[in-house]
Chain A
Amino acid sequence: MNNTDRPSSRSALRRLLLVAAVVLGVLVYAYGWRVTDISLEETQDPIRQDSVTRALRELLSPDIFDQDRTSEFVYAAIALGCPEDGTPIEQPAAEPGKPQVTVSPDCGRGGDVITVQGTGFAPHADVFLRWIPPSGQSRPLVRTDVDDSGNFTTRFEIPRIRGSQGETHRLEIEESWPVSLPYFSATTRTVIEKIIETIFLALMATTIAVPIAAILSFLAARNLMRQVQLPLGNVLVGFILLPVGWVLGVTLLSPVATLGMAWGKELWLGLVGPLIALAGYALVDRSVNNVELSLHSLGYHARRIGMNILLLVITVFVIGALGGLGIWLGERLQVGLLADLGNFLGTLGRLIELVITLITGAGAAFFAASVGMELTRDGLKVLTGTPSHIVGGILGAIGGALLFAGLALIANIAALLTLLLPIMTAILGMQVVIMIFNRAVKPTVLAEGDARQTARLIVGIAGAVIAFFLAYDLLETGRGLVDGRLPSSLTWDVLGYQVQSIVAKAALVGGVLSGVGGLLAGTRAIFPLGLTIYNVTRTILNALRSIEPLIMGIVFVIWVGVGPFAGVLALTLHGIAALGKLYSEQTENIDPGPLEAIQATGANRLQTIVYGVVPQIIPPYIAFTMYRWDINVRMSTIIGFVGGGGIGFLLQQQINLLRYQDAGVAVLAIAIVVSALDYASATIRERMV
């Protein structure tokens, strides 16, 4: 082998590969050509060309304006087939003061050209010629204009009418002139109404999506979440206390919420109650916080927890009262412009009434978790060695059982969601196997380095795969995935309670796996809580974003019926996902310096975000919100096609009825609004960023 010949053979091979790739590319392209039915014949079919021309012409002649007109009619007689003796056809008698017309010739056959001359018409009037057979429909012929001196001349072809030879037909000459200024046609008025509905539909969807997306975007920002790391023991305690707090909150705080609602509905109580509550809180806060307490003393913890419970109770009460107030106002404000406001407040109030249980539950759950974490932190910190691993195992088992039971309950919603269980098992399995690997294979056997990394990776993947299929088998995932059925509703008897078998089984799997994990890791292992939340949020946002708003629209139309509300819901849901992603990317791009500086002053996490992050992200957030509104207007024109309200719905009806001139108005309106918004949002974005 000599060295000079190697490069050339390699380049020959490369050339051959290139040719093969090109051939393959052409084949793929040809296949694409076929499946997309690209056909030149269709485009040249004269009938189709004719209809498309007509449709386009009508679309481009939108029926925007109407004008009131007055008409006067004059008639002439024309014989179809000339008499043999050549006598002229008897014409209607001319009325004095009326315009006159002469036709020449006054007879002929279908296709012959006839000249019409008129005198004494109103200057500049429009003239329409119509052919009226002795029996049957009149046919429009031509239109022309009258000149300055009241005359016109025009020609037309005699229409080919079957079976009316030898009869005398009439020619109608309509002289018409406007008697009013042009005004918007009925179509235009409907279109304007609908385009306003569309703009508001987009606005509502955007404004509802923005706050939710903003909150989620923080959870989906890697730079903010990465720092949130806690010892595993604390995380587990917090997680286990979430459902406990939920149950406690819902049972204990519901009366407070109900009281708030009841007070709110009494107006004065509703206004005064929250104020007194807040003032009371501020007072207690001031007096209690003046006492200096040592950080580790029971008093310090008791104070913090007490104040937070008080805050939670007051918050629930105030939200309830606001809801009640909204309902009260909604019932009272019924007249005129205020009715809209009343309706709005009333709906908000009822919305609060609906979700207040959720709010209390979630609030109490997070509160219980944070209190539990705070109280057990010092205790968990002193645990080392074997006790730390035993406690880790116990906490892990409980936490894992809860998590998997929860996932099993979610799996009951839809067959595909049963996949969550084996996926989660795989993730846990991978971690456990890697931990076992790290313990079993000492660095003395396989030193830290590439080889060890690879071995760890292989072991981890193997663990994940095995765990996945074990769980797949055990937890009836096949039933969901292959047969498309929900988990079995059979129940097991667990300590006297009837528990759905899949929930019990999942809890068992999760408990055992997490128990082993917790045992191996111990309570002191650092758990990347922030990154976990980040990944979960990201996954949910990405999944939501990949569902077309059109499909969401169809689902919401089924739920809340045809109309703009369905459109608002669909665009809101999609907007949350899309904005959440865009926002979080902006948050990830901020300058970390000010954040650090504020953190270094002793500010807490929330303060750091409000003072260090928010000022930096406001301009891009505004820009993206505008951009989203712009997109929403565009999308709401489409979403109307599936019943989501707005102008799309109207456009669809017009097209289905082949009323292209009306559709032209809608298309024009969409074009104007979209380009105006496009321009506006571009301008604002330019100013802001």
Chain B
Amino acid sequence: MLKIEHLTKIYDNGVMALNDVSFEVPDGQFVVIIGLSGSGKSTLLRCINRLIDPTAGRILWNDIDITAATDEELRLIRRRIGMIFQQFNLVKRSSVLTNVLSGRLGYTNPLWSLINYFPRSEREKALEKLERVGIREKAHNRADELSGGQQQRVGIARALMQEPELMLADEPVASLDPATSHSVMKYLELLNKEDGLTVLCSLHFLSLARTYADRIIALKEGRLMFDGLPEDIDDERFKAIYGEDAVRVEIA
């Protein structure tokens, strides 16, 4: 269970990116966060694993207060929260395998990992995860030799190495074409349905959100605008979230 309580974030430059946001996510739910550019989606997701420190409010996960964790505690919490990014954020010059293995750093002996040594079992696990996202044969390629869709799958494999219970996905398909977008979203769906991972995913397109979400949360200027089922977003709500001038764009 993930509980967000009165979360507020004011950046150093005075921008209020989140304004008293509260909601709860039960385990195993696929939640999609939508909202205009600048509405605070990334800020919300990054507060959850404290890539950003919130200004006020609490985030409780399985009754642990993430916002109050010390560095060491935070490391242990982060190990169980996977994250994937719009820009994939792979280390481009490293091999795919090394990228995937780096998802395991929180678990390995820090001294060994510094000389790039991973036990055999970990390497096998990494190959297994690559198999799962269908690019095992690319394990020894450099990460920047892969296409965007493949890179995002490496990103998923890296997050899977953490054996996460919660997956944060910040616009994971925003730099991909529609067909590839669906294939990447399918993997997330699979993880959600098969492994029971809780998924929190921000998306730009409502159509994509409708296809995959159990529940949709909409942000507008840092405030929670909507929290409910995908089918409850009618034209009126759509205009409220995206503004009067918006037209619906379907994505195949």
Contact = CB atoms under 8 A, between A and B. Distances in A.
A601 B113 CA distance: 14
B109 interface: yes
Contact of B103 (A593, A601, A612): A601
Contacts of B102: 598, 601, 603, 611-612
Given A593-B87, A611-B102, A615-B91, A602 B79 contact: yes
A295 B98 CA distance: 29
Range, interface on chain B: 35 or more
A611 B162 contact: no
Contacts of B158: 597, 601
Nearest to B108: A607
B85 A597 contact: yes
Given A597-B158, A603-B102, A611-B102, A618 B51 contact: no
Interface string B67-87: 000101101111111110101
Interface residues of A, number: 26
A594 interface: yes
B106 interface: yes
B81 A600 contact: yes
A598 B105 contact: yes
A596 interface: yes
B109 A285 contact: yes
Nearest to A281: B111
A593 B46 CA distance: 13
Interface in B157-172: 158-159, 161-162
A612 B143 CA distance: 13
Contacts of B85: 593, 596-597
B150 interface: no
B75 A616 contact: no
Give the most central of A598, A603, A615: most B CB within 10 Å: A603
B98 to A, nearest CB: 8
Nearest to B49: A600
B91 A612 contact: yes
A540 interface: no
Interface in A221-270: none
Interface in B99-123: 102-107, 109-110, 113-114, 116
Contacts of A602: 75-80, 105-107, 162
A26 interface: no
A612 B109 CA distance: 17
B93 A616 contact: yes
A657 interface: no
B94 A615 contact: yes
A619 B82 CA distance: 30
Given A594-B89, A598-B102, A604 B70 contact: no
Interface in A377-416: 377, 381
Interface string A491-517: 000000000000000000000000000
Contacts of B90: 594, 597
A603 B75 CA distance: 7
A172 B250 CA distance: 106
Given A600-B51, A601-B104, A601-B105, 18 more contacts: A591-B92, A593-B85, A593-B89, A594-B92, A597-B155, A599-B51, A600-B49, A601-B78, A601-B79, A601-B159, A602-B75, A602-B80, A602-B107, A604-B106, A604-B110, A611-B113, A612-B102, A616-B92
Q: Across chains A and B, which 8 residue pairs bring their CB atoms closest together, nearest first?
A: A602-B106, A602-B79, A603-B105, A593-B89, A597-B89, A602-B78, A594-B91, A600-B83
17 contacts: A289-B109, A381-B70, A594-B89, A594-B90, A594-B92, A597-B83, A597-B85, A598-B102, A602-B105, A602-B106, A602-B107, A603-B102, A603-B105, A610-B114, A610-B116, A615-B93, A616-B93
